[in-house]
């Protein structure tokens, strides 16, 4: 007899090597839980509220994104209009032979909301007060064509030394 035959069939190393014997399942019975209440057939109210909250948050987020896009587009249009008005004022100043050689520069700001005045700041220096008045009158004529409400800020300095340097 060989050593494998001496082992009781179904137990030990011989059974594992030869594949003889039976296998017993070792299952421990766990506690069985009987349901205290039958499962509810109605949907959970908290799940419905969570879904509603997510939907409302998405709607608010979408509205905020649309508002930001509209404000950005409006500000871009206002900047474009301000640049156009600045160019028209500068071109009218350059077209006048008396004012074309003077360092007078317009700066235009158009507010985001309607009903607010367009702000035109004129900066620079001129040798005589008559030239300052002529520059401001030209700006008023040019702005009056396009803007109904505007505010002109006069930052033009009268520098008599400019007349002596030019002569």
Mean pLDDT by 10 residues, the chain (167 residues): 53 55 58 59 70 94 97 94 93 90 92 88 92 93 86 90 65
Query: Distance (Å, rounded) from C-alpha 92 to C-alpha 86?
Result: 10
Token duo for residue 118: 């367009």
Q: pTM higher than 0.95, yes or no?
A: no
pLDDT of residue 132: 92
Q: Where are the domains of the chain?
A: 80-166
Looking at domain 80-166, its CATH class is: alpha beta
157 and 124 Cβ atoms separated by less than 8 Å: yes
Number of H helices, E strands in the chain: 4, 3
125 and 158 Cβ atoms separated by less than 8 Å: yes
Alpha helices in 96-144 (DSSP H): 129-144
Closest CA to 136 of 158, 114, 117, 116: 158
pLDDT of residue 55: 93
pLDDT of residue 64: 97
Cα distances (angstroms) measured from residue 164 to each of 12, 42, 92, 116, 167: 121, 95, 26, 42, 5
């Amino acid at each position: 007899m060989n050593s494998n035959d001496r082992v009781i069939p179904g137990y030990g190393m011989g059974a594992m090597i030869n594949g003889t014997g039976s296998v017993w399942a070792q299952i421990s019975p766990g506690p069985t839980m009987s349901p205290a209440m039958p499962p509810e057939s109605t949907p959970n109210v908290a799940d419905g509220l969570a879904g509603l909250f997510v939907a409302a948050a998405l709607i608010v987020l979408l509205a905020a994104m649309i508002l930001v896009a509209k404000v950005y587009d409006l500000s871009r249009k206002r900047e474009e209009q301000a640049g156009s008005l600045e160019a028209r004022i500068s071109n009218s100043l350059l077209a006048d032979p008396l004012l074309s050689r003077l360092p007078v520069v317009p700066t235009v700001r158009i507010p985001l909301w309607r009903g607010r005045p367009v702000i035109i700041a004129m900066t620079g220096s001129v040798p005589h007060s008559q030239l300052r008045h002529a520059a401001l009158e030209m700006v008023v004529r040019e702005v009056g064509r396009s803007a109904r409400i505007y505010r002109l800020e006069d930052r033009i300095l009268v520098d008599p030394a400019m007349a002596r340097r030019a002569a």
